[in-house]
Amino acid sequence: MSSCFGQYLKITIFGQSHGPAVGVTLDGFPAGMEIDEENLALQMARRAPGRSDLTTPRRESDTPEFLSGVLNGRTTGQPITAVIRSEHQRPADYGDGVDLARPGHADYTGHVRYFGFEDWRGGGSFSGRLTAPVVLAGALCGQWLAGQGVTFASHALSLGEIADAPLPDEYPDAETLARLRAMPLPTLSEAAAERMREAILAAKAEGDSVGGTVEVAAYGLPAGLGAPFFDSMESVLSHLFFSIPGIKAVGFGDGFGFSALRGSEANDPFRMRDGRVTTATNRAGGVNGGITNGMTIRATLAVRPTPSIAKRQQTVSLRRMEDAELEIRGRHDPCLLPRVCPVAEAMCAIGLMEMWKERAACVR
């Protein structure tokens, strides 16, 4: 099972949706960083379930417990291992094994891949519950990167036909960042937030779900991170973004919009500003040739509608090997966007720190 990422900062996640705990080990994290507990708690709370009527009613405190690698509030340079206890798991909601494969889920593919020995409860290791340790790892990486002048932001860019304004290429003010991180569904436009909220609650009332797009940005990056071909910045970040359950497409800068442009429109002209090289526009999303160019990294993630819905659906019985129908029970998000935002920031921070350490290793 592929639960590990990285060469210079090695991250391993473990646990299942309805197991006793989920957790993470980070090997290669620098020594001496003082952990900002308040920021860590904020990031974990942004992802945690049960915080509003837009998410699953399952409630988890998601308070991390450090088992190693931290002493007196500072990282020691040894592997950091932390667990997050699951307080309200309900495995009984999922019966005594896989029979009716849930459409849109990994029930069938996981059953085939692991020869019937998989943990089927709530999706097991395929569950969004595994994004809790990801956010923990990303929060630590984000704090280290903040010391290098890097800041992250994310928001719901669209939901159905409802669109928010895109994130600015220039560093947003602290008030805007704080407001986005405090919102149950972060948007730049309050009107867009209200319309999105209404659409989510309408789908929820009908036993259905909705999808949309999330935009994530990283500000304050230097030029020179990444490498061509297999370790390009887009390759590394896409690998991580696609690891988020429910992500079906990723674009950088104008993304698919490039297909409608001419070269004269698509290219970002280089200019000098305050003694440094910049670009007049940022259609490329901060990356040229797989390497950061010093502009803001901007990525858009397409998020599918939550596959767990209350409507009756067609499926098959894996025990009887015949067509069947299914009604899903349990506690589920009517929309993944609110909780994807902090996970996208976390994945971005993990990827950037990995590439930061890779570049540092190359110049030694």
Query: In the prediction, which pLDDT does 90 show?
Result: 59
Say how far apart CA 298 and CA 217 lie, in whole Å.
Answer: 5
State the DSSP code for 288: E
Query: In the prediction, which pLDDT does 364 show?
Result: 60
Burial 173-191 (b: 16+ CB within 10 A, else e): eeeebeebbebebbbbeee
The one-letter amino acid code at 221 reads: L
Task: List, for residues 64-100, the tens digit of each pLDDT value.
Answer: 999 999 999 999 999 999 999 987 665 555 555 678 9
In the chain, at which residue ranges do the beta strands (DSSP E only) sit?
4-5, 10-15, 21-27, 64-68, 70-71, 74-75, 80-85, 151-159, 162-163, 212-219, 223-226, 247-252, 270-273, 276-279, 287-288, 291-293, 297-303, 313-317, 322-326
First to last CA, the chain: 33
Query: In the prediction, which pLDDT does 189 show?
Result: 96
Say how far apart CA 38 and CA 2 lie, in whole Å.
Answer: 31
Query: In the prediction, which pLDDT does 233 show?
Result: 98
Q: Mutual orientation of helices 337-362 and 233-241 as an angle, nearest 10°? A: 140
Tokens of 67: 């088992």
Say how far apart CA 238 and CA 241 lie, in whole Å.
Answer: 5
- What is the CATH number assigned to the segment(s) 4-362? 3.60.150.10
Query: In the prediction, which pLDDT does 192 show?
Result: 97
Query: In the prediction, which pLDDT does 137 show?
Result: 98
Phi, then psi, of 303 in degrees rounded to 5: -110, 125
Query: In the prediction, which pLDDT does 59 show?
Result: 66
CA 140 to chain centre: 15
Q: In which residue ranges of the chain is pLDDT below 50?
A: none
Within 13 A of 31's CA, how many CA atoms are on the CB side? 4
Query: In the prediction, which pLDDT does 159 show?
Result: 97
CB of 217 within 8 A of CB of 152?
Answer: yes
Name the residue ranges covered by the structural domains of the chain. 4-362
- Listed in sequence order, the residues at least 6 apart from 304 whose beta carbon sits closer than 8 Å to its beta carbon are 104, 211, 246, 247, 248, 336
